[in-house]
Amino acid sequence: MAHSGMRGLSVFISDIRNCRNKELERIRVDKELGHIRTRFKSEKGLSFYEKKKYVWKVLYIYMLGYDVDFGHMETLSLISAPKYGEKQVGYIATSCLLNENCDFLRIVINSVRNDIIGRNETFQCLALTLVGNIGGRDFAESLAPDVQKLLISSSCRPIVRKKAALCLLRLYRKNPDIINIDGWSDTMAQLLDERDFGVLTSVMSLLVSLVSNNTDAYWNCIPKCVKILERLARNQDIPQDYTYYGIPCPWLQVKIMRALQYFPTIEDPNTLKSLLEVLQRIMMGTDVVKNINKNNASHAVLFEALALAMHLDAEKDIMSQCVALLGKFIAVREPNIRYLGLENMTRILLVTDVHDVIKKHQTQIITNLKDPDISIRRRALDLLYGMCDVTNAKDIVEELLQYLNEADFAMREELALKVAILAEKFAPDLSWYVDVVLQLIDKAGDFVSDDIWHRVVQFVTNNEDLQPYAAAKAKEYLNKHVLHETMVKVSAYLLGEHGHLLSRRPGCSPKEIFAIINEKLPTVSTETIAIILSTYAKILTHTQPPEPELQDQIWSIFKKYEGYINVEIQQRAVEYLALSKKGVSLTDILAEMPKFPERKSALLKKTEDTESDTAEQSALRLRTQQKASDALVVTDQRTANGEIKAGQLSPVKLPNQNMNVNSEEQTTTNGALDTVDLDPTLSTDLIGDLLAIEGPPSISVPTEQTPVSGLDQETDLIGALALSTVDEQSNSIKPIGDIEEWFQALCIKDSGVLYEDIYIQIGLKADWRAHQGRIILFIGNKSTSSLTSVQALVLPPSYLKMDLSLLPSTIPPRAQVQCCLDVINICPSRDTSVLDFSYRYGSVMIEAKLRLPVVLNKFLQPISISPDDFFSQWKSLSEPPLKVQEVVKGVKTLSLPEMARLLSSVQLRVTPGLDTNPNNLVASSTFHSESIHAMLCLLRIETDPSDRTQIRMTVASGDPTLTFELKEFIKEKLIIIPNARPVPSPTSLQTQNPVLPAASNDDPGAMLAGLL
Amino acid sequence: MGIRFILLVNKQGQTRLAQYYEYMTLEECRALEGEIVRKCLTRTDQQCSFVEHRNYKVVYRRYASLFFMVGVDNDENELAILEFIHLLVETMDRHFGNVCELDIMFHLEKAHFMLEEMVMNGCIVETSKANILHPIQLMDKAS
């Protein structure tokens, strides 16, 4: 076979194809890579043909999933080749192998620009495509005007302009400022007069992006869009090549209708009328045909028309047509149409009130819940969830509970969460709610998160009528032999609180309840033991007059746990024992739980959409936010001034507290011992969460919360009691995600999320050059109202110079602002700097202390070093403090390659083979700072194959501080430090101590970390 | 709304073409390809062509031994993408004449050139087969 004129490439591909297994493939690939590497290195000057061939091989190898860490320069050099063939390979390979964050890319900006402004249109296309695919901010700044010129130029052919449109789209996303909205909306309208369908398709994508960022401009494009759509729908004057199975360019039709969904409304009555006519035509005129491709294409258009009609909230009869069509779709055999029918039915629920019509299809939807295809089952589940209301909640929830028995693993967690939420939102009565959740725990305990059982406890605590019922149910479940541990937790908790209400019933005396719980004690985990101990203490309190026999039994258990290995349990046992011997004071402290303040359900909060990673906000989501939808109504929302609106499930009697922002007195109001925040999403510490002694959480974020104000008044009473777990700021608004994880990720990457909660997202992008860096913070308001009092403050530690640009104090709804932070590294240190960020949403002040990923490795630059250089340096740095050695224990068990990867992730270049002992790793890097400029750092790690948890580490550099700091830094990376807390204590900032993660002191790893 | 990646994988799970429109590290690509291939290859013809994966969807279509998989945002029009796959296949057919796995393997560059004409930055650029193939024909003539 003659293949693409590159024989060597074809031979290589054949070889790969003939490899019988992955191992042989790897060997062949390694051989080829070795060959290419030597060829590239051999300075003899490869011909462009050879370079082209090798680059395709590299690309092929990369596609197979092998890392190729060389050849980038050769690829880039092809971009400036004179011949089309080579240039093309250069451009395509660059956009596959590199990404916008690659420093390499900068060196070709000029060549790319030359191609863009040059006369050769095939070159222009290549360059525009590259920039469109991987162009970053640098490109946006230097190329935007040229690209705009091409797009609007009348002398340019469509082949170039269509690419210019999408290239501009990319640059606009990188930097929205490149487009000046004022004039540009007219330009866009003019572009829509285009006759070429390729250009129109691209321009439409550009329009979608522009409109989604700015729904107020670009009104003037609406009539033009509708015109094009009309022309397509009527099939007037459409070139044959753009007609797909008789359908006039379905993709363009879809795109236009999508663009129209980004405009909040269409005001001009004539335009609206024409549009509705088109939609009607599509809806009436789409028939099911035999040809699958035609069918798909016409239905693609139809579904988009439905979505647009929903968005326009068209007249009643169009909407009922929509629902009728969808009803038809969910009953067909063809799985794709059925899937989309279900999906769109769910969407229509979000925008219009068609619950009643959709309810007619309930049986059909439930049938789909049992479909063999998981994609369809998921859609059916979502739809059932969306259509559930008070009238059908019982049916649907029971159906879902039943389905839980057979549902596949992949869906169970979601299913469990949805059941719990529906039960909570639409319970016709509270006892039903308790029934459902207990059944849920019984059937799918593994998938019931703590949030769910915590919520039941809250409801039961807040509703006296419910307490005896719940306690009786709990007891019933405890009688079962096989029981999920979560059931033990919730039952023990409920019986501890309310078991005494049952005391008159047969089999429910304190003694009997104790006995039944005690059966479970030997088999449960520490978390549950903690709950059970509290339950015992409560049983003792409620047993008046005391029963000596029961008392003895419980005391002996407390005594048994006094020496327990877990500190929390130990403490509980000691304290409960001491308290229960005090008699009367016990009743005060262990009295029933006060009511929980009403709060938004953590479950509902959890389900609120947290994904915002698509470039454009989905049109639907925008729409839902614009319109107060009742599909996601939360029953107990607080009004702005902090009053509580009683929702369906709110307790009859509201707790007598005011919820004013920042009112710290409230922590003392109900005799609580501490202010553990109960909201399960807020505290990951279960033991501190629902156990025993609680106070209402503060609603807002007190900036400087006086530590546990409740404690002061009651100190005598409590004595040494230390149940408090107040180690976190009690923000009521918590990040959706783990700040620490984000931080850790950013320490290694240069862009990502720094912080996100339900209102705001802070993205970060950093660019490092030697000892300098620039961080750009992208602060996006996700909510539909303005965020005010936005403040960011950086306290630069002594080793850094930091300069933060001004930040507007208000961020308008759905807007993003940027803020630039310039960093200069003065001397080596492992400290981190902290960004104090705060803003106000309504009356709530939210504050976050965020560690900035300005860490030591950002100023390191990996460097390869020859053995001779290495050894001469290594020898010359012979003594401490320039060269230090330490044996480190408690190291994560990593294989050598893993350890090497870890080192290279922090910019230390591992040079294999330098150390003759294969168990050792040697790495080198350059550290940049203002005081010592560029300084070579050398590292050697000697591992012990028989004991992977310890290593000997030697670090050398020409600066004693650098040597020390680097050694500590690497050590921190290698040892196990569990439970790292996201919030650094403010003191660590002032004292310039390294921020050691606070961890519970029963943890050997943490103690180790503390010792270091 | 957009295309995140286009993958061509054979029945054995070997990648024959991969084009990503958002940056992913090699490890991420490998993991993603593995997960998706596992999910899609086990599905039957009676099941729908859409698979929900993480926070996006995969729209896929099978042609003989080759699976064409396109990762799209959740709000993308699925059927439009499904037919876009077919358009890609028809375009390849027109060029290779009844395209098969080997054509794509041995003419990876051609497949890339076609894709490059059809999709850019995750958006569809061109849907006319003649226009898509035009640059390739020019090149073939030149060589």
Supply the pLDDT for residue A1010. 36
Summarize pLDDT for A849-904 with one digit per residue, the tens.
Answer: 888 888 888 888 888 888 888 888 888 888 888 888 888 888 888 888 888 888 88
- Known binding residue A489? Answer is no
How many whole angstroms separate alpha carbon A317 and alpha carbon A335? 27
CB contact under 8 A, A198 and B128: yes
Chain B residue with CA closest to A90: the answer is: B109
Q: Amino acid letter at A745? A: A
Whether A413 maps to a domain, the answer reads yes
How many whole angstroms separate alpha carbon A407 and alpha carbon A840? 43
Say whether both A931 and A948 belong to one domain.
yes
Supply the pLDDT for residue A405. 83
Cα-Cα-Cα-Cα dihedral sign, residues A53, A59, A60, A65: positive
Say whether both A435 and A464 belong to one domain.
yes
Chain B residues within 8 A of A255 when measuring between CB atoms: 124
Q: What percent of chain A has pLDDT over 90?
A: 32
Q: Which of A813, A838, A854 lies at the terminal end of a domain, its last residue? A: A854
Supply the pLDDT for residue A600. 61
Contact residues for A895 (Cβ-Cβ < 8 A; gap 6+): none
| Total CB pairs under 8 A between chain A and B | 184
Q: How far A981 CA lies from chain B's nearest CA (Å)?
A: 27
- Known binding residue A55? Answer is yes
Supply the pLDDT for residue A585. 65
How many whole angstroms separate alpha carbon A49 and alpha carbon A8? 11
Residue B15 pairs in a beta bridge with B9
pTM of the entire predicted model: 0.64
Supply the pLDDT for residue B1. 55
CA nearest to A857, candidates A992, A990, A750, A777: A750
Say whether both A462 and A510 belong to one domain.
yes
CB contact under 8 A, B77 and A249: no
Say whether both A576 and A676 belong to one domain.
no
Say whether both A711 and A839 belong to one domain.
yes
pLDDT band at A624 (very low <50, low <70, confident <90, very high): low
How many whole angstroms separate alpha carbon A823 and alpha carbon A771? 8
pLDDT band at A620 (very low <50, low <70, confident <90, very high): low
Whether A786 maps to a domain, the answer reads yes
CA nearest to A663, candidates A701, A713, A620: A701
Place of tokens 């923000």: A731
- Known binding residue A8? Answer is yes
Whether A197 maps to a domain, the answer reads no
Residue B2 Cα to chain centre, angstroms: 14
Q: How far B47 CA lies from chain A's nearest CA (Å)?
A: 6
* Torsion, Cα of A358, A359, A362, A368 (10° steps): 20
Helix (H) or strand (E) holding A766: strand A760-769
Cα-Cα-Cα-Cα dihedral sign, residues A153, A154, A157, A162: positive
C-beta separation of A368 from A332 below 8 A: no
How many whole angstroms separate alpha carbon A678 and alpha carbon A690? 6
Contact residues for A605 (Cβ-Cβ < 8 A; gap 6+): A681, A758
Supply the pLDDT for residue A6. 77
- Known binding residue A57? Answer is yes
- Known binding residue A475? Answer is no
Give the 3-state DSSP-derived string for A468-536, with helices as H, strands as E and coil as C. HHHHHHHHHHHCCCCCCHHHHHHHHHHHHHHHHHHCCCCCCCHHHHHHHHHHHHHHCCHHHHHHHHHHH
Considering its fold, how many domains does chain A have in total?
3
- Give Rg (Cα) of chain B: 15
Say whether both A963 and A837 belong to one domain.
no
Chain A residue with CA closest to B49: the answer is: A336
How many whole angstroms separate alpha carbon A397 and alpha carbon A808? 48
Phi then psi for A92, rounded to 5 degrees?
-65, -45
How many whole angstroms separate alpha carbon A250 and alpha carbon A912? 55
Q: Could you tell me what percentage of chain A is helix, strand and coil, using 3-state DSSP and rounding each to the nearest 5?
A: 55, 10, 35
How many whole angstroms separate alpha carbon A857 and alpha carbon A860? 5
Which range is least confidently modeled, A159-168, A570-579, A930-939?
A: A930-939
Pairing outcome for strands A947-957 and A883-888:
antiparallel
Phi-psi category of residue A538: left, alpha or beta, with phi > 0 → left and psi -120 to 50 → alpha: alpha
How many other C-beta atoms can be found within 10 angstroms of the C-beta atom of residue A663? 16
Supply the pLDDT for residue B94. 94
Say whether both A499 and A434 belong to one domain.
yes
Place of tokens 């050894």: A871
Residue A146 vs residues A104, A124, A172, A682: alpha-carbon distances, Å: 22, 11, 13, 50
Omega of the bond leading into A881 within 30 degrees of 0 (cis): yes
CB contact under 8 A, A85 and B139: yes
Chain B residues within 8 A of A167 when measuring between CB atoms: 120-121
Place of tokens 């010129």: A149
Asked if pLDDT for residue A603 goes beyond 70, the answer is: no
3-state secondary structure of A411: helix
CB contact under 8 A, B128 and A239: yes
- Which residue did the predictor score with more confidence, A44 or A254? A254
Residue A767 pairs in a beta bridge with A774
Residue A447 Cα to chain centre, angstroms: 20
Supply the pLDDT for residue A635. 33
Residue ranges of alpha helices (H) inside A192-287 are: 197-213, 222-233, 250-260, 269-285
Omega of the bond leading into A545 within 30 degrees of 0 (cis): yes
- Which residue did the predictor score with more confidence, A991 or B137? B137
Read off the tokens for A464: 């006296």
Say whether both A829 and A862 belong to one domain.
no
Chain B residue with CA closest to A98: the answer is: B23
Say whether both A835 and A889 belong to one domain.
no
Residue B63 pairs in a beta bridge with B66
Q: The domain spanning residue A902 has which CATH number?
A: 3.30.310.10
pLDDT band at A676 (very low <50, low <70, confident <90, very high): very low
Chain A residues within 8 A of B142 when measuring between CB atoms: 84-85
Summarize pLDDT for A352-383 with one digit per residue, the tens.
Answer: 778 888 899 999 999 999 899 999 999 999 99
Supply the pLDDT for residue A75. 87
Structural domain boundaries in chain B: 3-142
How many other C-beta atoms can be found within 10 angstroms of the C-beta atom of residue A867? 12
Q: The domain spanning residue A646 has which CATH number?
A: 2.60.40.1230
Asked if pLDDT for residue A622 goes beyond 60, the answer is: no
Chain A residue with CA closest to B3: the answer is: A614
Say which CATH architecture domain B3-142 belongs to: 2-Layer Sandwich (3.30)
Q: Amino acid letter at A255? A: K
Say whether both A847 and A869 belong to one domain.
no
Chain B residues within 8 A of A88 when measuring between CB atoms: 113, 139
Query: Does ipTM surpass 0.95 in this model?
Result: yes
How many whole angstroms separate alpha carbon A82 and alpha carbon A80? 6
Chain B residues within 8 A of A607 when measuring between CB atoms: none
Asked if pLDDT for residue A939 goes beyond 70, the answer is: yes
Place of tokens 């919730």: A490
Whether A1010 maps to a domain, the answer reads no
Summarize pLDDT for A510-537 with one digit per residue, the tens.
Answer: 899 999 999 999 889 999 999 999 999 9
Best of B26, B28, B123, B131 to mutate (most A CBs within 10 Å, chain A): B123
DSSP per residue, A620-660 = HHHHHHHTT-STT--TTPBPTTSPBPP-TTS-SSPPS----
Q: What is the DSSP letter of A430?
A: H
Say whether both A962 and A942 belong to one domain.
yes
Summarize pLDDT for B80-122 with one digit per residue, the tens.
Answer: 999 999 999 999 999 999 899 999 999 998 999 999 999 999 9
**Stretch A39-61: mean pLDDT:** 85
CB contact under 8 A, A198 and B126: yes
Give the 3-state DSSP-derived string for A527-574, with helices as H, strands as E and coil as C. HHHHHHHHHHHHHHHHCCCCCHHHHHHHHHHHHHHCCCCCHHHHHHHH
Chain A residues within 8 A of B47 when measuring between CB atoms: 335, 372-373, 375-376
Whether A943 maps to a domain, the answer reads yes
Phi then psi for A589, rounded to 5 degrees?
-70, -35
> By residue range, what is the domain housing residue A527?
388-589
Which of B18, B121, B124 lies at the smallest CB-CB distance from A170? B121
Say whether both A849 and A906 belong to one domain.
no
Q: The domain spanning residue A463 has which CATH number?
A: 1.25.10
Which range is least confidently modeled, A222-226, A591-595, A638-642, A806-810?
A: A638-642
State which of A398-402, A748-752, A913-917 shows the largest mean pLDDT: A398-402
